[in-house]
A and B are shown apart, each in its own frame.
Chain A
Amino acid sequence: MRRLIMLLAIVLVTATATPTMAAEWKQLFNGKDLTGWKQVGPGHFEVENGLLKTVGGMGLLYYTGGKISNSVIRVVFKVTQASDNSGVFIRIPVEPREEWMPVHYGYEAQIYEAGDERHCTGVLYSLTTAAARAAKPPGEWNTMEITLDGPHTVVVLNGTKVTDYTEGQPVPERTKDFEPQRGTRPNAGYIGLQNHPHEDKTDSGVFFKEVAIKKLGH
C-alpha cells in the first residue's frame, strides 16, 4: 500500500512539474557569445561585459532557433542617449538573408526615444501609436515584454502597455520609403535585434542584457 501511495505521489509530482517547466523562461543569449544568433546586413553585435552591444548598421542579429509563436519575448536593454536607435524584430516570415525583408514582411518593436508616438520605444514601427511613453531615461535598464498570441501582439514596456495590436486592424498610410510595407504578418516568425546607427552614421550605444522567451500557457 505504501509503495502504491509513493508511486501515486511520484506520478502526481511529475504531472504538476511538467506544465510548470513548459512555461519557464528560456534564455536565448548566453551572456558570453553569439551562439544561436546570426547577423545579416551591415554592422554587427559585440558581446562586452556580458552584454550585447550594437555596432554600425543597419543590420539584424536574428535568433537561429526557428519561428516563434504563442510566446512572450522578454528583452532587457538600455540606451546611452535618447537618439540611440534599435528594435526587436518579430513575425519575420522566412529566415533572413539581409536586413530589408524583415522590415517589410515582419514587425519592428521599436527602440528609439527621440521618435514621435508612432516611432518611439514599444510601438510597432510606423504602424501603431504608443498608448503610453514608458521608457526609462538613458543609462537605465528597460524591460520589454512582447506577447505573440496568435495574430495578437502586445508590447509592455517597464510594466506599462504601449502596444496592443491584432492583425487586420487599420494602420496609418506609409509615408517614407524605409517604413514597412503594410499587410498582415504571420502568427509564427523569426525574431531578431536591430543594430541601427545614428543619422550621422555614428554608433548607437544600445546594450542588451537579456533576451528570453516563454511559451504562453494555453
Chain B
Amino acid sequence: MLKRWMLIFAILTFGALAVGAEDGEWKQLFNGKDLTGWKHVGPGKMYVEDGLIKTDGGMGLLYWTGGKVSDCAIRVVFRMRDKNDNSGVFIRIPLEPREEWMPVHYGYEVQIDNEPEKSKEDDYHYTAGLYSLTKPLVKAGKPGPEWNTMEITLDGPRTIVVLNGQKVTDYTEGQPVPERKFDFEPQQGRRPDKGWFGLQNHSKDDVVFYKEVAMKSLKK
C-alpha cells in the first residue's frame, strides 16, 4: 500500500518538475520550412528560401499568430544581405495587427539598422534599440552577411535587448524618452506588458534573413 502511494507521489512530483522545465525551454516559432503560425499585413511580403525567412518589399509586418506574449525571452537570429539593411522586431503590440501602422504607434520596434545616419537618423534608431525611443548602451550590430543573435526579454513592463551577448537596451515603462521628430516615428505612451510580436519587412532595398525565432518563458 505504502509503495503504491510513494509511486503516485513520485509521478506527481516528476510531472510537476517536467512542466516547469518545459516552461523554461526554447520553443521554435519558425519551422524552417514555411510560414505556418505567421501572418503578413501591409505592403510587401516574407517568404522562406533555403530554410530562412527572407524579407521582400514593404513596409509590412509578419506577425506571430500564437497570441500575446509576456514574461518571456524572444531570440531572433538574423543577418543582413548587404553591409547594412533595415528591418526590426515588433513587440508589445496591443491588438492583433490588421495593417502595418498600429504596431508602430502602439507597440515597439526593436530596430535593425546599423547605419541610421545614412537615412538622417540619430543613435536612437540603431540596431537593438527601441526605435526612436532609446539610445544604444553599446553598438553591437554585425554587418552583413554575418549572423546576429538578438535576445529580447519582456519582464512585465521592463524590456531588455541583448545583441550578440551585449546589453544594448534596458528600458522600463514610464522612463523618459526623447521628443517625437518625424511623422513615421512611433506615438509615445505606455506599452502593454503583454503583446503580439512580429518581424518587419522594410523596403525592397532592405533584405534581411531570419534563421531562428524562438521564445522561452521567464522562470519566476
**Which of A49-57, A59-67, A96-104 is the contact stretch?**
A96-104
Report A93 CB to chain B, min CB distance, Å.
Answer: 6
Q: Tell me whether chain A's interface is mostly helix, strand or loop, or mixed.
A: loop
Q: Chain A: how many interface residues by the 8 Å CB criterion? A: 11
B105 neighbours in A (Cβ, 8 Å): 97-98, 101
Which residue on A lies nearest to B41, using beta carbons?
A181
B106 neighbours in A (Cβ, 8 Å): 94, 97, 101
Report A177 CB to chain B, min CB distance, Å.
Answer: 10
A100 neighbours in B (Cβ, 8 Å): 101-102
Contact B98 A181 (CB under 8 A): yes
Contact A183 B189 (CB under 8 A): no
Contact A94 B94 (CB under 8 A): yes
B95 in the interface (beta carbon within 8 A): yes
B187 in the interface (beta carbon within 8 A): yes
Report A3 CB to chain B, min CB distance, Å.
Answer: 55
B187 neighbours in A (Cβ, 8 Å): 97-98
What does the 1/0 interface line of B171-191 toward A look like (CB < 8 Å)? Answer: 000000000000000011100
Contact B189 A105 (CB under 8 A): no
Cα A149 to Cα B159 in complex, Å, equals 38
Q: Tell me whether chain B's interface is mostly helix, strand or loop, or mixed.
A: loop
A183 neighbours in B (Cβ, 8 Å): 98
B188 neighbours in A (Cβ, 8 Å): 97
A161-198 residues at the B interface, CB under 8 angstroms: 181-183
Report B182 CB to chain A, min CB distance, Å.
Answer: 13
B102 neighbours in A (Cβ, 8 Å): 100-101, 104-105
Which residue on A lies nearest to B189, using beta carbons?
A97
B23 in the interface (beta carbon within 8 A): no
B99 in the interface (beta carbon within 8 A): yes
Which residue on B lies nearest to A184, using beta carbons?
B96
Cα A98 to Cα B183 in complex, Å, equals 11
Contact B99 A94 (CB under 8 A): no
A97 neighbours in B (Cβ, 8 Å): 105-106, 187-189
Contact B99 A181 (CB under 8 A): yes
Cα A182 to Cα B99 in complex, Å, equals 11
Which residue on B lies nearest to A101, using beta carbons?
B102
A181 neighbours in B (Cβ, 8 Å): 98-99
Report A80 CB to chain B, min CB distance, Å.
Answer: 30
B71-116 residues at the A interface, CB under 8 angstroms: 94-95, 98-99, 101-102, 105-106
Contact A104 B99 (CB under 8 A): yes
Contact A93 B95 (CB under 8 A): yes
B94 neighbours in A (Cβ, 8 Å): 93-94
Contact A104 B98 (CB under 8 A): yes
B99 neighbours in A (Cβ, 8 Å): 104, 181
Which residue on A lies nearest to B101, using beta carbons?
A100
Cα A183 to Cα B105 in complex, Å, equals 20
Give 5 closest A-B pairs by Cβ, nearest first.
Answer: A97-B187, A181-B98, A101-B102, A94-B94, A104-B98
**Interface contacts beyond A94-B94, A101-B101, A104-B99: sample of 12 additional A-B pairs, CB < 8 Å, sorted by A:** A94-B95, A97-B105, A97-B106, A97-B188, A98-B105, A100-B101, A100-B102, A101-B102, A101-B106, A104-B102, A105-B98, A183-B98
Return 25 A-B CB contacts under 8 Å, by A number: A93-B94, A93-B95, A94-B95, A94-B106, A97-B105, A97-B106, A97-B188, A97-B189, A98-B105, A98-B187, A100-B101, A100-B102, A101-B101, A101-B102, A101-B105, A101-B106, A104-B99, A104-B102, A105-B95, A105-B98, A105-B102, A181-B98, A181-B99, A182-B98, A183-B98
